[in-house]
Amino acid sequence: MSGCVSLAQILPLLLALGAVASIAPGASGQGAPPATADAAAASAGPAGDAIAASGDRPARLAPLAERQTAIRERVERFEARMQQLAALLAESEPQQAERLRDALERTRSQRVTTRLEQLAAALREARFSEAERDQAAVIRDLESILEVLANPANRMEERRRERERLEARRRAVRQIFDEQNEHRLSAQLGREALQQAEQLAALAERLSELVARQEELRRQVGDPRELAARQADLQQRTAEAAAAMAAAAQAQEDDGARSAVASAEQDVRAAAEAMQRAAEKYQAGRPVAEVQAEQRPAEADLHRAVRRLEEQQRRLRESADPRRAAESQRGTQRRAQDLHREMAPPEERPEPGAAPLGRAGESMQRAADRMGEGREQDAEGAQQEALSELQQSLDELEEALRQVRQEEQEETLSAIESRLRGVLAREESVQEALKALGPAGARQWTRAEELRLADAGVTHGKAVGEAEAVLRILTEEGTTVIIPELIDDALADMREAAVLIAKPETGAPVQALLDDVIALLKEMLGAIERKRDENQAQPPDDGQQQASGEQAAQPLLPRSAELRMLRLSQVRLRDRTTALTETETPAAVAEFGRLSERQRALAELTRRMHERAE
């Protein structure tokens, strides 16, 4: 089964639908006639008048409905034929069978036959606008089925697009998760800031009390010894306050806050030192003016420390403003809601991760509301719930990505295997034909042998085209570096063989090139078979993730397979070099140069593989 069988069956359906759409009155540009003849005449102009006045409107509409019904019946037969062919080709051509099953699944999931029956009913009832619109939609769906049948790489492309879409969703959810985590951390810091502000308020109140007592002491007169004792007590209390402020400075998270509190501490220490000098002067019986000369600076230092603490309190409270935090939380919640609407559109199946993302948005809303009410402790629980739901959304997306990557890898391996088997079969047939012709030379070949050589050249050219397709697939897939390079080397050998066959040359040089190509193809096919068997035998994992929370894309083929192919290439290169040492022809010298370049390329591949392993 090739794509042409399906094309031959589906193209008439598209043409027939297009023909019916063009016959429908709505397609003429006159407007879609409503259900009644009078309305049809009013809205469709002369065409509507003709329909309404003819008196045989049902008879005129019957052919359209009949043709639409005939198309539905052809689609039903087409579905049955696809199912039969898929079963017949399941073993001999699994790739084609898979394409047929995919097309059949699309036909059924899009309810094509049911919609065609509804179209026939719409035509019988003269619902032309509805019929024309639905006909266009059915045509688009059948064209998508045609694309599945006509394009063997379609499933690979679908898997790639699905993977990229899921990766984009994961990045978007991850960004929301990071934002939400920042909100949670900011809320924690805000609570700590409020606690620090309360601590600073207590220190400021303590300092204000010391200032008041110091000012009162400065205005009093009496026994110098008693005044000295009271000043010493105030000094002691001030020194204790300075020690408490030193601890408060160390507790500040922000460098600016730590510096501000430390400056206030220095002011208090300066005040304590001035009070010490004032106590000593009281004790020495110095004049009141000298004592007050120490007391006034102490009071000024304490006032300055109080102002510093009050300013820092204000900054801390502003940084922990719950209204600002609530508004920021609502911004993230709106982004989560917008993404949820994209991932769960109405009347469609929601994407992986959509449901927990929606619940996360609801938790964010609760957190924002509680912040706005000043209930920061309650908001923390809602924020943690949002993070848990976002993590579940990421887990669901990661699991969906794992499945899609596995399917994509299987599709890629299957496509490469199918093409490589085709290349191998063609190259083996070419080698067999060249061996049968022998090295006799063109002048001794019969006409039949010349035609056989020409056929071998054509077959070899097709093998080159298939190998180029394999190289494109591997390059686009991108998880393996070594395999595309080896295929490129094989392509270089195949192109060189094509030049030799065209000369014509059927002897040892071209045979050696084909030997290398065939050996590499067999090794690669063996690696693909082992990898596919491993994938089928390996049970689905439990969704374990890397520390980053994301799974790394697995290479198409394991490193061991790449090593085996590198070793094979090195062995074949050595054998070809050894064979060339037995001759010194100009062709041999040129081949030596080419093999030298190949050796350097292999060394570079080995180096790159070693670096990747590290």
Highest mean pLDDT among 197-206, 246-255, 475-484: 197-206
Gap between the Cα atoms of 142 and 14, Å rounded: 7
Quickly state the pLDDT bin for 362 (edges 50, 70, 90). Answer: very high
Lowest-confidence pick of 447-456, 519-528, 579-588: 579-588
- pLDDT tens column, 480-505: 778 888 888 889 999 999 999 998 88
Whether residues 488 and 598 share a domain: the answer is yes
- pLDDT tens column, 492-551: 999 999 999 998 888 888 898 899 899 889 988 888 888 888 777 765 554 444 434 455
For residue 455, pLDDT over 90 is answered with yes
Whether residues 146 and 196 share a domain: the answer is no
Select from 288, 320, 352 the last residue of a domain: 320
Residue 27 · residue 132 · CB < 8 Å = yes
- To the nearest whole percent, how much of the chain has pLDDT over 90? 28
| 234 is a domain residue | yes
H helices, E strands: number in the chain: 18, 0
The two tokens of residue 222 are 């009496």
Gap between the Cα atoms of 19 and 56, Å rounded: 22
Whether residues 304 and 230 share a domain: the answer is yes
| 91 is a domain residue | yes
How confident is the prediction for the chain on average, in pLDDT? 79
Gap between the Cα atoms of 494 and 500, Å rounded: 10
| 227 is a domain residue | yes
Lowest-confidence pick of 261-265, 380-384, 450-454, 595-599: 595-599
For 94, 374, 520, 535, the CA distances from 480, given in Å and listed in that order, are 25, 55, 16, 17
| 531 is a domain residue | yes
Please report the pLDDT score of residue 413 as a whole number. Answer: 84
- pLDDT tens column, 178-193: 999 988 888 777 777 7
Whether residues 146 and 231 share a domain: the answer is no
Whether residues 595 and 458 share a domain: the answer is yes
Residue 356 · residue 387 · CB < 8 Å = no
Q: What domain range is 427 assigned to?
A: 403-537+557-613
| 581 is a domain residue | yes
| 219 is a domain residue | yes
Helix, strand, coil percent values for the chain (each to nearest 5): 85, 0, 15
pTM of the model as a whole: 0.56
Whether residues 96 and 191 share a domain: the answer is no
Select from 150, 178, 199 the last residue of a domain: 150
- pLDDT tens column, 24-82: 444 433 334 433 333 333 333 333 333 333 445 555 556 777 887 888 788 888 788 77
CA 42 to mean position of chain CA atoms: 54
- To the nearest whole percent, how much of the chain has pLDDT over 70? 81
Please report the pLDDT score of residue 498 as a whole number. Answer: 93
Main-chain phi, psi angles of 346, to 5 degrees: -60, 145
| 159 is a domain residue | no
Gap between the Cα atoms of 556 and 487, Å rounded: 14
Question: What's the CATH code of the domain at 496?
Answer: 1.20.58
Whether residues 227 and 311 share a domain: the answer is yes
Select from 150, 167, 194 the last residue of a domain: 150
- pLDDT tens column, 375-415: 877 888 898 999 999 999 999 999 999 988 888 888 888 88
Whether residues 263 and 198 share a domain: the answer is yes
Whether residues 145 and 209 share a domain: the answer is no
| 23 is a domain residue | no
Q: Collect all residues with Cβ–Cβ distance below 8 Å to 204 and sequence separation of at least 6.
A: 306, 309, 310, 313
Gap between the Cα atoms of 285 and 222, Å rounded: 11
Lowest-confidence pick of 105-114, 287-296, 303-312, 522-531: 105-114
Please report the pLDDT score of residue 235 as a whole number. Answer: 93
Whether residues 440 and 530 share a domain: the answer is yes
Whether residues 145 and 191 share a domain: the answer is no
Whether residues 433 and 527 share a domain: the answer is yes
User: What's the structural domain count of the chain?
Assistant: 3
